[in-house]
Structure 1
Amino acid sequence: MSGQKRLVVGLLSHYLEDANLGCVALSVSNMALMDEVAKQQGIDLEYRILLNEKAPAAAPTHSATPYEYRRFDSSKQTLRHPLRYWRSSVFDGCDLVVNINAGDGFTDLYSFNRMISESYMMLLAQRKKVATVMAPQTIGPFEKPASRAIARRVMSRCVTVFSRDRLSTQLAESLSARGNVVEVIDVAFALPFEKTPIEPLPGQALHVGINVSGLLYRGGYNGDNYFNLAIDYKAFIHALITEVQAQGHRVHLISHVIAEPGSVEDDYSACEEVAKHFPEVVVAPRFEDPIAVKNYIASLDFFSGARMHATIAAFSSGTPVVPIGYSKKLNGLYDTLDYPYYLDIRDSQWTVDGAVKQFLTWLDGRSELSSRLAERRPVFADRLEIYKNNLRSLMTAAARIH
C-alpha cells in the first residue's frame, strides 16, 4: 500500500457529447470542480463515465483525470431483461456515484418514461450499497404520484442531494426527510470563458444576441403549444427582431441545442429559418463546445434566450441578459439570484407586444441590468464555494487508501 488516497467516481448523466450544449456545460463544469477538489485534497481521482447503450462516448478533452467508459442497458432493455439489470457490474469498483440528471431530468415534465430513465440506475447503485449523490440540479416538478414515490425513494437514499434553486430545495425537502438537501447553484456558472473579439458598431448601435429555441419556435414536442405559453413564441421572436433592428442594433442569432437539422429541438435550423425573414441578422456558427458559445455570448452588449444555459453563459460572463422562461427551472434559478429581469412567457399577463415592449425597456436601461449582475456575482461565487466544500467532505470520506 502506498498510503495515497484513491477515489473512483461513477458519473451518471454526464454527457460530453450532446446536442444540448447546456448538458455538456454541466458535465465539463462538474468534472472541473471535482478535479480541483481532488488536487487540493491529494486524491488520486478516476472517473467511470456511465452511459446507456445509445449514448455517444466522446473523450473528456477538458479533464486530464483518468477515465473509463462503461455502458448499461436502457430502461426499455432492462424491462425486457431484468436479471441482466440486477447482475450489472457497471458500478463495480466505484466509491461514489454522482448523477447530474442532465440538469433538469429528474422530473416527469418530459414524460414519466424519462423520469424512469433518470432514476433506475440510481436505484441499482443504492441497492448495491454504493454511495450516491445528486449533483446540483432542478428537482421536479412531479405531477404523477408514482413519480413522487420514485423521487422520494431515490433522494432519501442519497448521501447528499444538491439543488440549484430555492423552488427545488423546497420540493426536495418535502420528499426527503433525511435533511440531506443542500442548496447551491448551477455548476455551469463555473464554465471558463474568454471574450471573442468583435468589432464595435458605430454610434449607439449594439451587438444584441438572441438565442432562438427551436423547441419553442416549433410549438414544443407536439407542435401545438406543448408548454402552454401565453404568447406565440414565433411571433414574439419576429416582432422582437423587427424592433431591435429598427433601433439600429445588430442582431446575432445563437444556437445552444444543435440537433439534427429541422428536428423539433434544433436551434440552428430555427435560426436559419428566422434569418430568411431578416437577412441582416448574423447567424452564429454551429458551435460544438459550450465554452466556444460562452466566449461568443460574452463578447455581446446584450443577450436574451430561452435555453437556460445560454442565459447562464451571459449572466456569469457579465453580459446583460433577459432570460425567457417557460418552465420552473429558469424562474427558480433567477429568483434565487434575485434577478427580476426575465420574461415568464407562460404568464397570462404577457402579450407579444407587451413582452417586446418590456424587453426594449430593459435594453434601454441595460446599465441597471449590468449593475445587478455585478451585485449578484458574489452570490453564485459563494454558492459554488459551498458546493466545493461539500464535495471536499464527500470525496474525502469516500476515498480509500491504496
Structure 2
Amino acid sequence: MSQTTIPKTKITIGLLWHSISSDNLGVGALTESQIAICQAAAVRAGVDVNYLIFGTTGGKHYVPQGISVRIGSRISIKQMMRGNSPFLKELDQCDLILDIGEGDSFADIYGIKRFIFLIVSKIAVLAKHKPLILSPQTIGPFDHWLPRKLAIAVMQRCNQVFARDGLSSSYLTKNGVRGNTTEVIDVAFRLPFTRPEHHTNNKVHIGVNVSGLLFSGGYTENNQFGLTLDYPALIRELLREWTNDPQNEVWLIPHVIPDDLPVEDDRIAIDALLTEFPSAQRAPDFNSPSEAKSFISGMDFMTGARMHACIAAFSTGVPVVPLAYSRKFNGLFSSLNYPWIADGKSMDTATAFKTIMEGYDKRELLKNQVAEGNQTANTLLQKYEDYIVLCMIGKYS
C-alpha cells in the first residue's frame, strides 16, 4: 500500500496497544522506547509530535518528560457496536497509527477474548482509512484457522508490518503476508537508562528475574505454557548454588508488579523465595521501565524469564541467559546470533540449570557476544527509525 500526503509540521501519532501505566514493565518498556525512537525520527523529519495512547492501564505513571502525551479512551467493542465509541472519534485525530500489540499479544495463544480486542482495533483503524503500521512485535502463532485468516487479511492491508525476530518474519512469509513486511528487532533496545556507579565490594552481582507467572504455573496455575522443567525447583537450585558462594551478591528482580493480580506478581514469588534464601537481596519496586533497566545494567550476570528484563540486561551489555517459555525468546535472540538460552519448553530442570551455570561460568565470553548482538540490534532499529521518518513527512509505503 503506497500513498503520499502533504507534509505537516505538527502530527499526532496514535500508539495502539501501548501503555505508560502498565504494571507489566515490559509493555511500558515498549512504549518508552517507541516514543524515544519517534522523537529521534521527529528531529530528522522536522516535525513536532503529539502522542495519543490506546491500551491497557495500570497503577504506574511513567510519561517521559517534555513529551506531549494523552491517554486515549478505552477500547470497547460494545461502544463500537452501539455507535458511541470515543475511541473511534479519537482515531480521527491521528495522522498515523503505530500498533505494537503489547509486544506479543497479536496471537491466539492467550485466548480468543484478547485476540478479538486486538483484531477489532486494527479493523477500526483500517475502516477510518488511517495509515496502520504494526511496530516491531512477535507475530502469531495463530493456531486456529479463523483467527489466522482474520489476522492475515488485516496484515495484508497494513502499510507495513515489522517483525521483531526471524521466526515471526518466516511465519509471515509462510502465511502469504509479503511485500509489506520488514524484519527488525524489539524496540526496547532503545529504552533510555542511566548506568549506576560501579559497585566496590568486589563481589559478583547476579540478577535473577523471577517470573511470578511461571512460579504460579501460568494463569491456569496448571503449567499453562507446557514447560518441560520444574520452574520453581530450577530457581531454588540456582539460588542455592549462588547464595552458598560468599563471593556472590544475588539480587531477585521483579519486572511485573500488579497489585491486583497475584498469579502474575513477581514480588510474591520473590518474597516467598527470600524466606528460604535470606542472604539474597530484593530489588526495589521500580517506578518505570527505564528505572528497572538502569538497575539491571549494574549486574555482572543475569538470568530471567521476563523477556524485557532479559533485553534490559542484553542491551546494557550484561551477560544474560534467558529462560524461554515461548518462541518469542528463541526468535529474538537467534536473530542476534546469541545461542545462550535455557529453553523451558524442551529442556528438563537439570539441563536448564547446567546451561545457566555454564553461561555464568563463561560470562566474559557471553559479554563479547552480547556486544556483537547489540551492534546488530542498532542496525536493525535504524531501519525502523528511517521508516518512521518517511511516515512523518507523509511518504507511506
* Shorter-chain TM-score range: over 0.9
Question: Does structure 2 conserve the Cα–Cα contact (< 8 Å) formed by 1:50 and 1:90?
Answer: no
1:38 aligns with 2:36: no
1:3-402 aligned within 5 A? 5-51=9-55, 55=57, 61-75=63-77, 77-78=78-79, 81-85=81-85, 88-197=88-197, 199-202=199-202, 205-248=203-246, 249-260=248-259, 263-347=262-346, 350-397=347-394
The 3-state SS of whatever aligns with 1:110 is coil
Question: Does structure 2 conserve the Cα–Cα contact (< 8 Å) formed by 1:163 and 1:183?
Answer: yes
Question: Does structure 1 conserve the Cα–Cα contact (< 8 Å) formed by 2:228 and 2:348?
Answer: yes
What TM-score results when the alignment is normalised by the length of structure 2?
0.93
Listed one character per residue, the Cα deviations across residues 282-340 of structure 1 (whole Å, up to 9, x for unaligned) are 01011121111111111111000000000000000001000000001011001111100
The 1:367–1:154 alpha-carbon spacing in structure 2 relative to 1, beyond 3 Å, is: same
Question: Does structure 2 conserve the Cα–Cα contact (< 8 Å) formed by 1:95 and 1:398?
Answer: no
Listed one character per residue, the Cα deviations across residues 229-280 of structure 1 (whole Å, up to 9, x for unaligned) are 0111001100111012233322100000001267111001111111111010
Deviating beyond 4 angstroms after TM superposition, the runs of 4 or more aligned structure 1 residues are: 56-60
The 3-state SS of whatever aligns with 2:206 is strand
The 3-state SS of whatever aligns with 2:135 is strand
The 3-state SS of whatever aligns with 2:208 is strand
Q: Partner letter of residue 296 of structure 2?
A: I
TM superposition shift of 1:86: 10
CA RMSD of aligned residues (A): 2.2
The 3-state SS of whatever aligns with 1:272 is helix
The 1:280–1:288 alpha-carbon spacing in structure 2 relative to 1, beyond 3 Å, is: same
The 3-state SS of whatever aligns with 1:71 is coil
Listed one character per residue, the Cα deviations across residues 337-359 of structure 1 (whole Å, up to 9, x for unaligned) are 11001101110xx3322321222
For 1:389 and 1:86, locate their aligned partners in 2 and report how far apart those are by CA, in whole Å: 32
For 1:57 and 1:296, locate their aligned partners in 2 and report how far apart those are by CA, in whole Å: 20
For 1:63 and 1:147, locate their aligned partners in 2 and report how far apart those are by CA, in whole Å: 39
* Structure 1: gaps (5+ residues): none
TM superposition shift of 1:84: 3.3
For 2:34 and 2:348, locate their aligned partners in 1 and report how far apart those are by CA, in whole Å: 38
Q: Partner letter of residue 273 of structure 2?
A: V
TM superposition shift of 1:176: 4.7
For 2:225 and 2:70, locate their aligned partners in 1 and report how far apart those are by CA, in whole Å: 38
The 3-state SS of whatever aligns with 2:162 is strand
TM superposition shift of 1:85: 4.9
For 1:282 and 1:56, locate their aligned partners in 2 and report how far apart those are by CA, in whole Å: 26
For 1:398 and 1:271, locate their aligned partners in 2 and report how far apart those are by CA, in whole Å: 49
- Give the corresponding residue for 2:3: none
Q: Partner letter of residue 165 of structure 2?
A: D
Listed one character per residue, the Cα deviations across residues 44-89 of structure 1 (whole Å, up to 9, x for unaligned) are 222222347xx359766315333333214423x348x443359931
* Structure 2: gaps (5+ residues): 1-6
The 3-state SS of whatever aligns with 2:185 is coil
Question: Does structure 1 conserve the Cα–Cα contact (< 8 Å) formed by 2:320 and 2:359?
Answer: no
Q: Partner letter of residue 91 of structure 2?
A: F
What TM-score results when the alignment is normalised by the length of structure 1?
0.92
The 1:261–1:123 alpha-carbon spacing in structure 2 relative to 1, beyond 3 Å, is: closer
Residues paired across the two proteins, number: 390
For 2:330 and 2:115, locate their aligned partners in 1 and report how far apart those are by CA, in whole Å: 21
The 1:334–1:122 alpha-carbon spacing in structure 2 relative to 1, beyond 3 Å, is: same
